[in-house]
A and B are shown apart, each in its own frame.
Chain A
Amino acid sequence: MSDNNPVQKNLPRIGFYICHCGTNIAGTIDVAEVRKYAAGLPGVAVSRDYKYMCSDPGQEMIAKDIKEQKLERLVVAACSPNLHEETFRKAALKGGLNPFYFQMVNIREHVAWVHTDKKAATEKAKDLSRAAIARVAYHQSLEKKRVPVDPNVLVVGGGIAGIHAALTLANAGKKVTLVEREATIGGHMALFDKTFPTLDCAACILTPKMSAVKAHPNITLWTYSEVEKVEGYVGNYKVQVKRKPRYVKEDLCVGCMECIDACVFKEPKFHDKFNQGLGKRKPVYIDFPQATPKVVLVDPETCIQLKTGKCKKSCAAVCDRNAFDFEQKPEIKEIQVGAIVLATGFKAYDAKRDYVYGYGRYPGVYTALEVERLVNASGPTSGEIVLRDGKRPKAVGIVHCVGSRDAKSNKWCSRVCCMYSLKLAHLIKEHSGADVYNFYIDMRAPGKAYEEFYDKLLGEGVQFIRGRVAEVTDWAMTPGEEGRLVMRVEDTLAGFVRRIPVDMVVLSTGLEPQADAQEVRRRFNIGCGTEGFFQERHPKLAPVNTFTDGIYIAGACQAPRDIPDTVAQAGAAAAEALALIDAGFVELEPNTSRVIEDECCGCKSCISLCPYSAITFDEVKKKAVINEVLCKGCGVCAAACPSGSIRQNLFEDDEIFSEIKGILANDRKI
């Protein structure tokens, strides 16, 4: 505690400023009393209070005092440093003071907003202020470091969010790598026939963007690929991507699909994931006609050649470009990027989890995504509504909120289900003429032209029953119910329990985080909310940022959202990435650790503890070396160093101990 101990009798001149924040602080804390108290503390040359310290006059006042009163240190007691630390650092700088000769005291979130007893709250504010005043005397002059930003961007996920973000960035001249797990880009939107509320054809508006991605000179498209590893920091990420083998050379295949016809399996007989299992495919396949890239792939689980090595390979024989390569192995690629946009999308709720709705037990029960494929002209039935038993439904019931707004599964509203249920009701009626019933809890149509769409449906003769369906069952009570599915529901508008016989049930399943959201979160070092969606930095003011600088989120990986909102958010994420890149550099906080070389004994205990791999070992000098750019200032090494030879800026022993002394030096009797 000796190397920078200010001489007690010659303390620096400290300015103390306390903010009312309107009544946010002044309503609970006696601001004038704290001001008076601080004025009497050692070193304090100026003590003032002001209604809004963050306002221009407030900042001016600080800058002016620094100059005129020759202040050498600054303490502001106001809100969270997350909000205004930077504001007051700038005010210090304006007055000619190094911005790190400043300490902020959070008396709003930590005191005023969490206490009701004004007297006790005032005392607590005094304690915290005294601690900051005691600490700031030891502050040192520090400089922020600047590091350059790599201008390239990685976009993860090739749904509409990833596509839009990639195109926006590429159009701005940035080099983008778009990584997609599936064999084609397009995501969930590629499954849809129409989109609400305009009923425009989903493929007609999506496929031009998919083609644009493929053709764009600034975009490298890696489908059937996954990010394996991410290292580095804002502006300078090193990313490893695994490209899974398609067993077809992507650069040679032109998507003529003759190999599919030639496959030794004459008929498609395997589960077709793209068509939600309603259709069948062969071991060599392509998801849909407009798949991008239009390259076939071979499924190693079902291909005879890949399973046994004993197939006549008629697919490869018919390929005049020799694109087949059954020896293909996974390939690891490494890229450098400055920013990353995560647009990894959602998973539809597994309808089997709600036993009472009969999915998987009654063939007449479908999920909404299955029905999207059924009504789609390029789907397994070419757009005909044909049930699994080959019959056409006369009546169809659509159950809203399956896996949404339910304490037993997911509590959140999935936001899109009411609207897509209306869309499916319209399409089913249009395609089959069936009677359609919508069973809803509340109809939620809050979007441009959404309520009008609901109105339109009301006029089309679709039935709306307000009530949560109790069960879908097959026990009949009347001849009219025999052989059909019966939906039992309390009609809460009519006020009685109804039994409605139908032939087809559509479960409007909600949106959930991807199954591997937690793994992905850890890989990219970002957070997830309690429900498992990626956590934004601020729900209102930083909705596409994450707590890791340079990593942005867009679309349904952050929360359930529809296409218009997803696209808007993807644009915002791209704009944030552009702002970072075009600044050209990032400033790093100077709260990093450093090794006092003379004292380091080379025990290496810090190296394995560092969560950011920022510490290496100099084999010549036998000393630990900290990379300031990688160091995030967590303090683990400084705390763990057995010889005390690691110090951390802004967390020097003197600073911390004097802060503790300050907070404990109260002379009150409680």
Chain B
Amino acid sequence: MKYQYFPGCSLKGTGRAYEESFLAVFRALGVEVKELEDWNCCGATAYMSVDETKSYALAGRNLAIAGRENSDVIAPCSACYLVLNKTMKGIQEHPELRGKVTRALKAAGLDYSDKVKVRHPLDVLVNDIGLEKIKKHVKNPLTGMKLAAYYGCQVVRPFATFDDQHNPLTMDKLIEASGAECVTWPLKTHCCGGSLTGTVTEAGLRMVYIILSEAKKRGAQAIVTPCPLCQFNLDGYQDQVASAYERVDIPVLYFTQVIGLAMGLSPRELGIKRGIASAKELMAGR
């Protein structure tokens, strides 16, 4: 099994723990992951609304590079995953746009190709590698750990490619395969506030507070997410939430960190300490 890997900006910056744990888990599972050569910014959701055609060409460049090899691309960041898929869909459905993007890329010596598939690691772990194989690698089951699976919006909306739009379950299954327990809660795909934490802080903080407090109320010892922006918002604003509302201390982990812990990888390798909210209590005795 071989994949190409599109990190995007987050996994090289604020989401370094995601990259570290993602690569460590895939390595431990014996799955080859190769970083895409000379990749560029996916454009995120913002660029699409500024200059749509250019944003397609920008994201399309990554797809053109990936098209040189015959393997799927894994994009762990929710925004990258959405933007790359949206780009492919847009180009497939609009011949005029295809013409513009193809010409622009040709000028840079690149051939745009439709054959690339952009996948999310949740999809790859559950549907390609399989829960059975993952369970076989679990050495330290996280028995007794209660976790809140929080998906955010972009992995399931607007495209629900590998999971249910309102009640996604892939991450729940992985958490359960790790031996931990998923709390039942209704905020799995609620908005984390996205960039509002930076632009309209009060509105963003309220959304963060709702998610943190509800997870805690349901007995979760940590929130688990597949999205670097969700992780950033939920993890990085806990002090501000404390001043605006009340103190809610809860570590926010990437799902790859959770699987990695269960597989017996070291917390250091998985970047557990990179979180702002301390995971010390969670890790006590493990």
Q: Which residues of A contact B (CB under 8 A)?
A: 355-356, 471, 473-475, 477
List 13 A-B pairs, Cβ < 8 Å.
Answer: A355-B164, A355-B166, A355-B167, A356-B166, A471-B186, A473-B186, A474-B186, A475-B185, A475-B186, A475-B187, A475-B210, A475-B214, A477-B210
Chain B: minimal CB distance from A648 (Å): 46
Chain A: minimal CB distance from B203 (Å): 12
Chain B: minimal CB distance from A74 (Å): 51
Chain B: minimal CB distance from A359 (Å): 12
Chain A: minimal CB distance from B286 (Å): 29
Contacts beyond the supplied A471-B186, A474-B186: 11 A-B pairs with Cβ under 8 Å: A355-B164, A355-B166, A355-B167, A356-B166, A473-B186, A475-B185, A475-B186, A475-B187, A475-B210, A475-B214, A477-B210
Q: Once the chains are docked, how many angstroms separate the CA of A475 from the CA of B209?
A: 12
**Set of chain A residues within 8 Å of B164, measured between Cβ atoms:** 355
Nearest 9 A/B pairs, CB to CB: A355-B166, A473-B186, A475-B214, A355-B167, A475-B186, A356-B166, A474-B186, A475-B187, A477-B210
Q: Once the chains are docked, how many angstroms separate the CA of A471 from the CA of B166?
A: 11
Quick one: CB contact mask for B193-218 with A, threshold 8 Å, 1 for yes?
Answer: 00000000000000000100010000
Q: Once the chains are docked, how many angstroms separate the CA of A212 from the CA of B25?
A: 73
**Set of chain B residues within 8 Å of A471, measured between Cβ atoms:** 186
**Set of chain A residues within 8 Å of B186, measured between Cβ atoms:** 471, 473-475
Chain B: minimal CB distance from A496 (Å): 14
Q: Once the chains are docked, how many angstroms separate the CA of A474 from the CA of B214?
A: 10
Chain A: minimal CB distance from B184 (Å): 9
In this complex, which of A356, A474, A475 has the most chain B Cβ atoms within 10 angstroms of its Cβ?
A: A475
Name which residue of chain B comes closest to A477, CB basis.
Answer: B210
Q: Once the chains are docked, how many angstroms separate the CA of A473 from the CA of B185?
A: 9
**Set of chain A residues within 8 Å of B166, measured between Cβ atoms:** 355-356
Chain B: minimal CB distance from A213 (Å): 45
**Set of chain A residues within 8 Å of B210, measured between Cβ atoms:** 475, 477
Name which residue of chain A comes closest to B218, CB basis.
Answer: A475
Name which residue of chain B comes closest to A362, CB basis.
Answer: B186
Chain B: minimal CB distance from A658 (Å): 44
Name which residue of chain B comes closest to A486, CB basis.
Answer: B186
Grouping DSSP codes into helix (H, G, I), strand (E, B) and loop, the B interface class, with mixed when no group exceeds half, is loop
Chain A: minimal CB distance from B80 (Å): 27
Chain A: minimal CB distance from B160 (Å): 11
In this complex, which of B167, B185, B186, B210 has the most chain A Cβ atoms within 10 angstroms of its Cβ?
A: B186
Q: Once the chains are docked, how many angstroms separate the CA of A475 from the CA of B167?
A: 16
**Set of chain B residues within 8 Å of A473, measured between Cβ atoms:** 186
Name which residue of chain B comes closest to A472, CB basis.
Answer: B186
Name which residue of chain B comes closest to A475, CB basis.
Answer: B214
Chain B: minimal CB distance from A485 (Å): 10
Chain B: minimal CB distance from A4 (Å): 54
Chain B: minimal CB distance from A289 (Å): 41
**139-186 of chain B: CB within 8 A of chain A:** 164, 166-167, 185-186
Chain B: minimal CB distance from A141 (Å): 57
**Set of chain A residues within 8 Å of B187, measured between Cβ atoms:** 475
Chain A: minimal CB distance from B254 (Å): 24
Chain A: minimal CB distance from B106 (Å): 38
Q: Once the chains are docked, how many angstroms separate the CA of A471 from the CA of B165?
A: 14
**Set of chain B residues within 8 Å of A356, measured between Cβ atoms:** 166
Name which residue of chain A comes closest to B167, CB basis.
Answer: A355
**Set of chain A residues within 8 Å of B214, measured between Cβ atoms:** 475
Chain B: minimal CB distance from A562 (Å): 32
Chain B: minimal CB distance from A368 (Å): 22
**Set of chain B residues within 8 Å of A477, measured between Cβ atoms:** 210
Q: Once the chains are docked, how many angstroms separate the CA of A471 from the CA of B185?
A: 13
**Set of chain B residues within 8 Å of A355, measured between Cβ atoms:** 164, 166-167
Name which residue of chain A comes closest to B211, CB basis.
Answer: A475
Q: Once the chains are docked, how many angstroms separate the CA of A604 from the CA of B185?
A: 67
Name which residue of chain A comes closest to B206, CB basis.
Answer: A477
Q: Once the chains are docked, how many angstroms separate the CA of A473 from the CA of B167?
A: 13
Name which residue of chain B comes closest to A473, CB basis.
Answer: B186
Name which residue of chain A comes closest to B214, CB basis.
Answer: A475
Chain B: minimal CB distance from A497 (Å): 12
Q: Once the chains are docked, how many angstroms separate the CA of A454 from the CA of B202?
A: 41
Q: Once the chains are docked, how many angstroms separate the CA of A355 from the CA of B210?
A: 21
Chain B: minimal CB distance from A364 (Å): 14
**Set of chain A residues within 8 Å of B167, measured between Cβ atoms:** 355
Q: Once the chains are docked, how many angstroms separate the CA of A356 from the CA of B157?
A: 14
Q: Once the chains are docked, how many angstroms separate the CA of A471 from the CA of B187?
A: 11
Q: Once the chains are docked, how many angstroms separate the CA of A98 from the CA of B65?
A: 76
Chain B: minimal CB distance from A538 (Å): 37
Chain A: minimal CB distance from B164 (Å): 7
Name which residue of chain B comes closest to A408, CB basis.
Answer: B165
Q: Once the chains are docked, how many angstroms separate the CA of A588 from the CA of B180?
A: 74
Q: Once the chains are docked, how many angstroms separate the CA of A546 from the CA of B164?
A: 40
Q: Once the chains are docked, how many angstroms separate the CA of A471 from the CA of B164?
A: 16
Q: Once the chains are docked, how many angstroms separate the CA of A356 from the CA of B167?
A: 9
Name which residue of chain A comes closest to B187, CB basis.
Answer: A475
Q: Once the chains are docked, how many angstroms separate the CA of A473 from the CA of B164?
A: 18
Q: Once the chains are docked, how many angstroms separate the CA of A356 from the CA of B187?
A: 11
In this complex, which of B164, B210, B214 has the most chain A Cβ atoms within 10 angstroms of its Cβ?
A: B214
Quick one: CB contact mask for B232-248 with A, threshold 8 Å, 1 for yes?
Answer: 00000000000000000
Q: Once the chains are docked, how many angstroms separate the CA of A392 from the CA of B166?
A: 30
Name which residue of chain A comes closest to B164, CB basis.
Answer: A355
Q: Once the chains are docked, how many angstroms separate the CA of A473 from the CA of B211?
A: 14
Quick one: CB contact mask for B71-96 with A, threshold 8 Å, 1 for yes?
Answer: 00000000000000000000000000
Q: Once the chains are docked, how many angstroms separate the CA of A355 from the CA of B167?
A: 7
Name which residue of chain A comes closest to B165, CB basis.
Answer: A355
Name which residue of chain B comes closest to A482, CB basis.
Answer: B217
**Set of chain A residues within 8 Å of B185, measured between Cβ atoms:** 475
**Set of chain B residues within 8 Å of A475, measured between Cβ atoms:** 185-187, 210, 214
Chain B: minimal CB distance from A507 (Å): 15
Chain B: minimal CB distance from A597 (Å): 59
Q: Once the chains are docked, how many angstroms separate the CA of A473 from the CA of B210?
A: 13
Q: Once the chains are docked, how many angstroms separate the CA of A475 from the CA of B214?
A: 7
Chain A: minimal CB distance from B207 (Å): 12
Q: Once the chains are docked, how many angstroms separate the CA of A257 from the CA of B187?
A: 50
Q: Once the chains are docked, how many angstroms separate the CA of A397 from the CA of B167?
A: 23
Q: Once the chains are docked, how many angstroms separate the CA of A300 from the CA of B166?
A: 38
Q: Once the chains are docked, how many angstroms separate the CA of A475 from the CA of B218?
A: 10
Q: Once the chains are docked, how many angstroms separate the CA of A356 from the CA of B164?
A: 12
Chain B: minimal CB distance from A46 (Å): 54
Chain A: minimal CB distance from B206 (Å): 10
Q: Once the chains are docked, how many angstroms separate the CA of A355 from the CA of B156?
A: 14
Quick one: CB contact mask for B267-286 with A, threshold 8 Å, 1 for yes?
Answer: 00000000000000000000
Chain A: minimal CB distance from B157 (Å): 13
Q: Once the chains are docked, how many angstroms separate the CA of A475 from the CA of B187?
A: 8
Chain B: minimal CB distance from A101 (Å): 53
Chain A: minimal CB distance from B167 (Å): 5
Q: Once the chains are docked, how many angstroms separate the CA of A176 from the CA of B167?
A: 50
Q: Once the chains are docked, how many angstroms separate the CA of A123 from the CA of B166?
A: 57
Q: Once the chains are docked, how many angstroms separate the CA of A473 from the CA of B186?
A: 7
Q: Once the chains are docked, how many angstroms separate the CA of A471 from the CA of B188?
A: 13
Chain A: minimal CB distance from B38 (Å): 41
Q: Once the chains are docked, how many angstroms separate the CA of A471 from the CA of B186?
A: 10
Q: Once the chains are docked, how many angstroms separate the CA of A473 from the CA of B166?
A: 12
Q: Once the chains are docked, how many angstroms separate the CA of A588 from the CA of B207?
A: 72
Q: Once the chains are docked, how many angstroms separate the CA of A61 from the CA of B174?
A: 83
Q: Once the chains are docked, how many angstroms separate the CA of A299 from the CA of B157?
A: 45
Chain B: minimal CB distance from A489 (Å): 15
Q: Once the chains are docked, how many angstroms separate the CA of A474 from the CA of B217?
A: 12
Q: Once the chains are docked, how many angstroms separate the CA of A355 from the CA of B165?
A: 9
Q: Once the chains are docked, how many angstroms separate the CA of A474 from the CA of B187?
A: 10
Chain A: minimal CB distance from B193 (Å): 15
Q: Once the chains are docked, how many angstroms separate the CA of A52 from the CA of B164?
A: 59
Q: Once the chains are docked, how many angstroms separate the CA of A512 from the CA of B203?
A: 41
Name which residue of chain A comes closest to B166, CB basis.
Answer: A355
Q: Once the chains are docked, how many angstroms separate the CA of A205 from the CA of B63?
A: 68
Q: Once the chains are docked, how many angstroms separate the CA of A356 from the CA of B165?
A: 10
Name which residue of chain A comes closest to B209, CB basis.
Answer: A477
Chain A: minimal CB distance from B195 (Å): 20
Q: Once the chains are docked, how many angstroms separate the CA of A477 from the CA of B214?
A: 9
Chain B: minimal CB distance from A588 (Å): 50
